[in-house]
Structures are given as structure tokens and as C-alpha cells.
Structure 1
Amino acid sequence: MNRILFLSVLAAAVLSFGCAGADRAQEPAKKHRKIALHGYVYQDISLADTVKKAAEMKADGVVLTKRQFIGGKYPKARVDEKMTPEQREYVKKMFADSGLEIAGFGVYSVPVDQIDAHLDFCKDMGIAVFTEEHKRADQKLWNDSAEKRGVKVALHHHGRKTNEYWDPKVIAETVSKYGNIGVCADNGHWARAGVDACYGYKTIGKKLVMLHFKDVILPRGEDTWLGGGSLDVPKMLETLDGIGFDGYFVLEYEGGDKKNLDSIMRKSIEFLRAH
């Protein structure tokens, strides 16, 4: 009897373990969120140094800005569409060697006769998204140029005082008629404008191609690391997952604590990797 009882208990334990193992196997893998540092945030150092930091922090990419110099072999050369072929190859190799992607370029409003040059640069550098903030009348020019070059344009917004694009309904309506223009949404500017980010994301929906992502301490409106402020970041992520967002989370910080910028970026990356 004791032997029969022992075997019964052992069988039950094995079945229990098997079920638990099966449950674990069925758990969905945690989504990998594409994370980029923005060169604008690190404009006091070179692109080369920013790429090193991004690689050390295990980010996925860096967004280019004209405010930075290339660095390394080209300490005085600006990161822009005027880079020579040699400089462009140098930057491409810099990213390839670091295992990072050029996540985007911008944000800029440029003379309309320079639209093609900027998107030609994006095509040559393998940059999928250029962010701009032009008036409505210029959007067809951006769309047509982007279509010819296979590049995506993302219309960006700032706060209430900049232009009308801070309103999710307005920016969504503006891009709705163009196949090659989406939205680069900034939840920090929304928070300071009194706009709920989840409402904004849902309003824009599938036209959302890139995020400027941060947490904000309210009511001061001060940027901080993800999870360190007043915003419900987990709910924002849940909303983004629900609409199928798969673009870059571009981490920004425009607060006054620049001495701890690296720490702020690391905390934000750790938060996103954990969620």
C-alpha cells in the first residue's frame, strides 16, 4: 500500500510540474521595444560619443540632429545632408560597428526647395523616418518627395504655443490624406498641454510611426525618467501595444539636470525593458 501511495503521489507531482511548465511555455514573450537616444539631447557631445553611450546602454539606435558634430575622424563636420560621401560612409560604419541603427533624422522645418536634398540624404544613409513640422500647405510636397525615395516622413508637434499640431485630432486629420506621412508624437508636450497621451495615441492610431517618449512631473511640467514622474507610463505602453505600434521610442530629456543625463536615460531604458 505504501508503495502504491508513493507512486500515486509521485505521478501527481510529475503531472503538476508538467502543467506548470506548459503554462510557462505558453506565456507570451516580452515585446522588444525599439529604443533610441536623440542626438538633440546629447548636442553638447559628438555623434560618435553618443553612439558609444547608446551601445553601452543597450539601446537600439540614435536619432541624428544637425546640432551635433560627427566626432572621431571628423570632429568639426556637422551631421547634416551636406556630409561628404566619405563622411557618410564613416557614420554608416560607426553605427554598423556598434550594432545600432540610425533611427531617424530631424526635427526640422526646412525651405521647401531643400526637401528633396534632406530626403535624398535619408535614403542614402538608410534612415527610415525624417521628422518635420511644416505647415499644412507643405505636406503634399513632403509626401510626394518621400514616395519617390521610399522614405517615411513623420509630422511632429510641440506645445500649444507652437502651432495647431499639439491637438491630436488636428495632426491626425492633417496626415490622414497622405500615404507617406505619419506622426511623431511627444507625450511630454501633450502632458504640458493637458492632453491625455492614451487619447492621443488612439486618435492617431496606425499613423503613429515614432514617439518622443518621457515622463513628466506635474504640475511643474518638468521632464524626468520613465517611472519617475506623474504619468501612467504602463497604461501608455498598454495603449501603444493595443494599436500595434512598432516604431522607435526616442528617449528625450529637456529638463535642467544635465549632469545626470546618462543616469536618466539608463533608468528610462531599464523601465522600458522591464515593461
Structure 2
Amino acid sequence: MKKLLLTGAIILSLLTFTATLQAKPRKVAVQTYTFNRFSLEETIEKLKGLKIDGLEVYPGQRLYKDKGKVDAKGKPITFNERMAKEDIDVLKGWLKDANFKIVSIGCTGTPDNENDFKKTMDFCKEFGIQRIVTEAPVRAWDRFEELSEKFGNTEVDLCIHNHEKGSGNQYWHPEVVKILLNDGKYKHVFSGADVGHWSRCKLDPISGLKALKGKMKTIHFKDQKEFGNPQNLCVPFGTGELDCVKMLKELDKQKYDGWFVIEYEADWNDNLEKVKQCIDFLRKN
């Protein structure tokens, strides 16, 4: 009996240890385009207290909920790399209060001259940003790589984003990105995949994730009501047709340690509860 109890205890310990090894903490962020009907100030207020690790902010989002706050030209003050120091300081205060950090920006272009490159890197350093999500042409990748090597940029990477076929995006098919990244010459360029846009192109997200194994540093993780629907109807993770559990298992198998970015493109005026469901799903699976 003692031997049976001891054996049972050992098995239980091994199972617990294995489960601990398999429990993968996910780095979860929210793309603020989810709340593009609102200011960045309001977006941070909405997300404050939720179990996320960071934000992906899109350039051009209005900064203040007070629409009366405008720049010298009378235009709304927006999030961008030319923000005034006083606005940068205000944003830093909001982020500190909410215990958030900006982990990536995009979608945006890439700097193609030394002055712009330095300005962009300084802006990223100001907030600790490590990813620039972009749809820039390949020649811009080469320029970014060249300037990164010249100025010793080891903190910030380009992550190539895909929109749907027909949108003017040349990276809509994961095999294209795979081929472009597989020549080995890029140290600072990776994939910033969007599984929802693959679905819009009737491309299997699992196949896309497999194709870009080892090349992804951030993912716009989504579920959709119908696979292949070009309207990109987002639904809470696990309630649609994209098989989020299977996608997570594939990424865990790959030992993916990049960001899971929630970009909920639906119910624009009232989608916070659905975003919460997506966060909970990533934390529990």
C-alpha cells in the first residue's frame, strides 16, 4: 500500500511539474486601433486594470479626449514621433498610472534617411518601443537594416504586416514573406502576421503560422465569425471559425515568445467587453 501511495505521489508530482512546464505565460497587448473612435487617453482609461502587458499604438490616434486641445495649426494633437515634449510627458504619466508600456507602433512607414531614422529610434527609446509594424516595401527593409547596423540599433525591429489581397499589400500571402525573410540577410526584420487577414484571403491561419515559424515577433491574433469572410467580422476568441486553440498549440509547439496583439475590428463604439473575453482566453489557454 505504501508503495502504491508513493508511486501515486510521484506520478502526481510529475504531472504537476509537466503542467507547469507547459503553462506558457503569453505576452498580451492591445492594438489601440481597436478603439479608434476614441482618443488614446480614453483608450488607456478603458484598458486600465485589465490583464495586459502592453499596447500597440497606431500613429495618428488623437491623444486627448478634450477635443479642444489642438496644435499650433489648430489640428488635434495625435500620437506620432513629432509629438511635443509636454505631450510625451503627459502620455508617459498615463502609461505609468495604468502600468502599461508601448511595445510596438504601427502600421506605419519606415525612415529612409539618417535624420528620420535617428528621430524614430529616439522616439522608440523614449517609450521603450521594440517593434515597428509596417507594410513598407522591401527596399525600405534594406535601408532600415543598413542604418541599424551603422548606428548600432539593437533594440528595435521591423515587423512586416499583412493585409488582405487586393488592398495593395504585397505581403498578403505568408509564403511571400517567408521567401523574402529566408535569405538570411536581415537581422532586424521579422514578420508581424495578422491571422484575420489571412482568413479574409481564404488562407488557413495554421498553415501561415507554420510557414513563418521562427520569423514572427508579433502577431495580430484574431477570431472571426466566418472563415474566408472578406468583411473581417471579429468575434471573441474561441467563438468563431479560426480555431484559436489550435493556433495557440501550434505557436507553443514553435516556442513562440513574441507578442499576442488583440486588434478587435468590430463593434467599434462598444467592444470593450469582447476585448476582455479575448484577454481572458489568452490567459487561460
Deviations 1:240-268 (A, max 9, x none): 1112211111101223x224310110111
For the Cα contact (< 8 Å) 2:112–2:140, is it kept in 1? Answer: yes
2:38 paired residue number: 45
1:204 paired residue number: 212
Distance 1:216 1:195 in 2: 13
Runs of 4 or more, structure 1, over 6 Å off, are: none
Is residue 227 of structure 2 the alignment partner of residue 236 of structure 1?
no
Deviation larger for 102-111 or 204-213: 102-111
Is residue 28 of structure 2 the alignment partner of residue 35 of structure 1?
yes
For the Cα contact (< 8 Å) 2:59–2:107, is it kept in 1? Answer: no
Letter in 1 for 2:18: E
Quote the offset at 1:238 in angstroms. Answer: 0.9
Is residue 186 of structure 2 the alignment partner of residue 178 of structure 1?
yes
Is residue 169 of structure 2 the alignment partner of residue 168 of structure 1?
no
**Structure holding more strand per residue:** 1
Pick the aligned partner of 2:222 from 195, 198, 214: 214
Quote the offset at 1:85 in angstroms. Answer: 2.6
Among all aligned residue pairs of Structure 1 and Structure 2, give the percentage whose two residues are the same amino acid.
28
Deviations 1:94-118 (A, max 9, x none): 3233222212011013573444432
Deviations 1:183-235 (A, max 9, x none): 10000000111211121112111110100111012253422111111111111
Letter in 1 for 2:248: L
Distance 2:92 2:103 in 1: 12
1:68 paired residue number: 61
Aligned length: 265
Work out which of the two has the higher radius of gyration on C-alpha atoms and give 1 or 2.
1
For the Cα contact (< 8 Å) 1:108–1:132, is it kept in 2? Answer: yes
Distance 1:146 1:197 in 2: 31
Deviations 1:15-37 (A, max 9, x none): 36634642453233221111111
1:45-124 map, 5 Å? 45-71=38-64, 75-76=69-70, 77-109=77-109, 112-113=112-113, 114-124=116-126
Name stretches of at least 5 consecutive residues in structure 2 with no aligned partner. 71-76
If the length of structure 2 is used for normalisation, what is the TM-score? Answer: 0.84
For the Cα contact (< 8 Å) 1:34–1:247, is it kept in 2? Answer: yes
If the length of structure 1 is used for normalisation, what is the TM-score? Answer: 0.86
Quote the offset at 1:72 in angstroms. Answer: 7.1
Question: Structure 1 residues 203 and 156 mapped into 2: Cα distance closer, same or farther (>3 Å)?
Answer: same
1:158 paired residue number: 163
Pick the aligned partner of 2:143 from 141, 144, 161: 141
Name stretches of at least 5 consecutive residues in structure 1 with no aligned partner. 1-7
Question: Structure 1 residues 55 and 246 mapped into 2: Cα distance closer, same or farther (>3 Å)?
Answer: farther
**Structure holding more helix per residue:** 1
Distance 1:124 1:156 in 2: 24
Question: Structure 1 residues 127 and 229 mapped into 2: Cα distance closer, same or farther (>3 Å)?
Answer: same
Quote the offset at 1:140 in angstroms. Answer: 0.7
For the Cα contact (< 8 Å) 2:135–2:161, is it kept in 1? Answer: yes
Distance 2:158 2:101 in 1: 17
For the Cα contact (< 8 Å) 1:36–1:54, is it kept in 2? Answer: no
Quote the offset at 1:157 in angstroms. Answer: 1.2
